[in-house]
Amino acid sequence: MSFLGDNTLSLIQRGLDVGLKRQTVLSSNVANLDTPNFTPSDVAFEAALGKADGITSVNVRRTDDRHLAMHGKGGDIETNKSEDRPASLDGNSVDLDTQMARIGQNAVAYQANIKAISKKLALLKYAANEGAG
């Protein structure tokens, strides 16, 4: 548990770290679009977030089967190979459209984390001022 009494800021920080790492990996995939025998990588966001340092449990209730389950603790952000399409004649399997869509998705998730941390800090400020805005 953090010094503020909950794990929210730790989870948001981990989400930002994972988003930054994923942006780096996806940008590398785009940069290697024409590299022979290159296989793109990605970050498994759910697994990386579930390994948030210092967080031993997260109370998350899935309200829909399409929601991601969260589990795990500790560890670094790992990447894994993810072929976008069958390899071309030069062995490269990067699909630019797929990579750009993932970059866009990652940007939206990163902005959501920024907004979440802003709201959390605003709530803490409100509480510190005893509700006097």
Q: What is residue 77's three-state secondary structure?
A: coil
What confidence tens digit (pLDDT) does each residue in 31-73 have? 999 999 999 999 986 666 666 554 444 444 556 666 555 444 3
Residue 39 · residue 28 · CB < 8 Å = no
Residues in the chain: 133
Assigned token pair, 73: 């603790």
pTM for the predicted model, two decimal places: 0.71
Q: What is residue 81's three-state secondary structure?
A: strand
What confidence tens digit (pLDDT) does each residue in 84-99 have? 888 889 999 999 999 9
Compute the distance between CA of residue 21 and CA of residue 78 in angstroms, rounded to an integer: 9
Residue 110 · residue 49 · CB < 8 Å = no
